[in-house]
Amino acid sequence: MSQIDNLPPLREVIAEHGLRAKKELGQNFLLDLNLTSRIARVGGSLEGVRVIEVGPGPGGLTRALLAEGAREVIAIERDPRTLPALAQIAEAYPGRLTIISGDALEMDYRLLADGPTRIIANLPYNIATPLLTGWLTSQPWPPYFESLTLMFQREVAERICARPGEDPYGRLGVLAGWRTEARIAFNVSREAFTPQPNVTSAVVHLKPKAVDDTVAVRDLENVTKAAFGQRRKMVRQSLKSLGVPVEGLLAAADLKGDERAEELPVEAFLAMARVLPGLR
């Protein structure tokens, strides 16, 4: 493993500060600085970019982001044990690393953005999906960030990037497909982490795109919740839980009603969400 800066190898950092990954915090540390550098580069050059990172742990990805030229990294860390290790990185990169000790789920990320901003993180697995959902439902849209480059369990990554007709396709795929161009950049083996998780991981890159602003996020969420809540049933049946005339929803999306949610394109869900308020 090559060094990307003059700081000690990550294994030495972890040993020095006694950093044992905590399962209750969803922690799995990445020790390969070649790999963290690859993650940092997924979205292109970081020159002049402010990066928001969630769950830096001992700072492997943090170091890669700074070494790759990020103008500034805002690192949000809940675990106070890691703060001394992060402070060493801040000293090595004067004025370029800001450490926020707090809960990532409670942050107002818009206030952290300043100029070109990207969110790049090896997310704690236990909060990865709610964090992503929060970023994808940001208002107004397009959002304050240029892109998201995030590590997930492979199963979750497949759900994010799934297309109609694919088994993982569901509510998360509709939301991501509506507002972003989402792709799996590459897989990350279990062996790359300490401790090793039970599953393969994957890095997902999401780039915001222009969307139809006549659709309210809440209405889309209600439609997809109903449709996928009984995903093996025909949509004529599953949509009844919305409590509105189903024929109006089907007509708006040009559906016969015998389709199943997993077959429908994102545009069909948007069409139903658009007319939902008028049917109540």
Which residue from 77, 76, 139 is spatially nearest to 110, judged by alpha carbons?
A: 139
How do beta strands 201-208 and 147-153 pair?
A: antiparallel
In the predicted structure, residue 2 carries a pLDDT above the cut 80: no
What mean pLDDT is predicted for residues 240-253?
A: 97
pTM (2 decimals)?
A: 0.94
Which residue from 55, 10, 65 is spatially nearest to 32, judged by alpha carbons?
A: 10
What mean pLDDT is predicted for residues 106-133?
A: 95
H/E run at residue 154? helix 154-161
More confident residue, 280 or 101: 101
Whether the upstream peptide bond of residue 245 has omega within 30° of 0, thus cis, is no
Identify whether the C-beta of residue 60 lies closer than 8 Å to the C-beta of residue 31.
yes
In the predicted structure, residue 41 carries a pLDDT above the cut 60: yes
Q: Residue 187: its pLDDT value, please? A: 97
- Residue 203 is encoded by which pair of tokens? 């890095």
Q: Residue 21: its pLDDT value, please? A: 59
Query: Per-residue confidence at 138, pLDDT binned at 50, 70, 90?
Result: very high
Q: Residue 8: its pLDDT value, please? A: 87
Model pLDDT for residues 54-72, shown as the tens digit of each residue: 999 999 999 999 999 999 9
Q: Residue 23: its pLDDT value, please? A: 60
CA distance 100 to 192: 26
Computed over every residue of the chain, the mean pLDDT equals 93
Which burial class, exposed, middle or buried, applies to 163 when counting CB atoms under 10 A from its CB (0-12, 13-18, 19+)? Answer: exposed
State which amino acid sits at residue 1.
M
The percent of residues above 70 in pLDDT, for the chain, comes to 96
Produce one character per residue of 201-221: b if its CB has 16 or more CB atoms within 10 Å, e if not. bbbbbbbbeeeeeebebebbb
What mean pLDDT is predicted for residues 244-264?
A: 97
In the predicted structure, residue 1 carries a pLDDT above the cut 50: no
CA distance 259 to 267: 14
In the predicted structure, residue 26 carries a pLDDT above the cut 60: no
The percent of residues above 90 in pLDDT, for the chain, comes to 80
State which amino acid sits at residue 201.
S
Model pLDDT for residues 175-231, shown as the tens digit of each residue: 999 999 999 999 999 888 877 888 899 999 999 999 988 899 999 999 999 999 988
